[in-house]
């Protein structure tokens, strides 16, 4: 008798109110799966690598979508699409760094349906993990990417602790640079988490990439006015311009005092398990003008402390060059 590979039964819930979604998240915990645009979700289900008991679709909840002004900046709902962010007049005027980063996510078709929260909370893209192997991140006791013959060209050069997968989110780097805060909610209440603390490395939690609890939903992102209208730089280097994740990216926010840098935030993607702040570059850049001379003075600091794997040494000079380009203005 022939056997067929079919997807297991999954209950689908489509709440229209946030309270209902929060109750479902509490009820199902880690056996529930929150769905926004579904671009990460359906890949996992198709490959049979994840088997949630229930899927909770959030797109029907009006309270989770849209972009609004606050007393100190803007708030972006979790299910706001990347396309909406790219086209929003306020974001392009005051926080164009985020619009630039969102514009480099995947392809136009994916940006049309992909949500901000979905891009932020997507899981690691390491192919060993995605194939369903029992690595550390999957609850096993080995990292298949960290070996003499491992294929680790895309993996981390900073912050590895057993797992060497990198954060795959393009918008995460921009939001860390903009000092955004993530608003997480559960039936127990709401909490505000600094973007820099929202993303966690394997030394903090080996099977998670964010600090969200099982019963929490990321409901919004708030960007303060501190960096509104400042000088920004974003660049992403990938194998292909469409679809690919970053080999290395940089998101920079600079506050200028005349012709010199008064304050800055340099954040790299594709080099660590979380968006990686270059605090040594930020300190060295303070008081410098945007020039070739300044670029050469600080660029070498970008790779300080890196521990490359067999096949990703190229990320070190690539980081330095991206910082160099940002500092040239």
Mean pLDDT by 10 residues, the chain (329 residues): 68 97 97 92 78 95 98 98 98 98 96 97 94 93 95 97 97 99 98 98 96 98 98 97 94 98 98 98 98 98 98 98 96
| Domains in the chain: boundaries | 11-58, 67-121+165-328
Indicate the fold that domain 11-58 takes in CATH.
3.30.43
pLDDT tens-digit map of 7-18:
778 999 999 999
- Report d(CA 299, CA 154) in Å as an integer: 21
Please write down the long-range contacts of 214-217, taking CB distance under 8 Å and 24 or more positions apart.
214/25, 214/29, 214/30, 215/22, 215/25, 215/26, 215/29, 215/186, 215/187, 215/188, 216/25, 216/184, 216/185, 216/186, 217/18, 217/21, 217/22, 217/25, 217/34, 217/58, 217/78, 217/184, 217/185, 217/186
pTM beyond 0.75, yes or no: yes
What pLDDT, on the 0 to 100 scale, is given for residue 13? 98
What pLDDT, on the 0 to 100 scale, is given for residue 8? 72
> Going along 162-280, which residue ranges are E strands?
181-186, 189-194, 217-224, 231-237, 248-257, 260-269, 276-277
Per CATH, the number for 67-121+165-328 is: 3.30.390.50
């Amino acid at each position: 008798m022939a056997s067929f590979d079919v997807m297991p039964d999954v209950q689908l819930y489509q709440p229209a109110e946030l309270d209902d979604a929060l109750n479902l998240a509490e009820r199902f915990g880690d056996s529930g799966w929150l769905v926004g645009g579904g671009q990460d979700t359906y890949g996992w289900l198709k490959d049979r690598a994840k088997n949630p008991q229930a899927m909770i679709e959030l797109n029907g909840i009006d309270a989770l979508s849209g972009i609004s002004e606050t007393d100190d900046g803007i708030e972006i709902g979790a299910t706001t699409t990347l396309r909406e962010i790219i086209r929003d007049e306020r974001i392009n005027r005051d926080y164009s760094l985020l619009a630039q980063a969102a514009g480099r996510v995947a392809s136009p078709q994916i940006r049309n349906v992909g949500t901000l929260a979905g891009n932020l909370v997507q899981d690691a893209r390491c192919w060993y993990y995605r194939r369903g192997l029992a690595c550390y991140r999957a609850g096993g006791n080995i990292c298949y990417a960290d070996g003499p013959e491992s294929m680790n060209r895309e993996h981390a050069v900073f912050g590895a602790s057993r797992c060497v997968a990198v954060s795959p989110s393009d918008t995460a780097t921009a939001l860390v640079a903009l000092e955004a805060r993530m608003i997480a909610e559960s039936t127990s209440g709401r909490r505000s988490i600094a973007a820099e603390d929202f993303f966690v490395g394997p030394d903090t939690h080996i099977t998670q990439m964010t600090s969200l609890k099982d019963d929490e939903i990321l409901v919004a992102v708030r960007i303060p006015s501190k960096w509104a209208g400042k000088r920004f730089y974003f660049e992403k280097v990938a194998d292909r311009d469409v679809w690919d994740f970053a080999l290395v990216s940089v998101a920079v926010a600079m506050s200028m005092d005349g012709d010199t840098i008064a304050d800055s935030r340099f954040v790299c993607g594709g080099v660590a398990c979380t968006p990686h702040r270059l605090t040594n570059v930020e300190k060295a850049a303070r008081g410098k003008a945007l020039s070739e001379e300044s670029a050469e003075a600080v660029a070498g600091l970008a790779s300080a402390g890196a521990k490359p794997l067999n096949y990703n040494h190229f990320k070190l000079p690539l980081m330095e060059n991206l910082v160099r380009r940002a500092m040239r203005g």
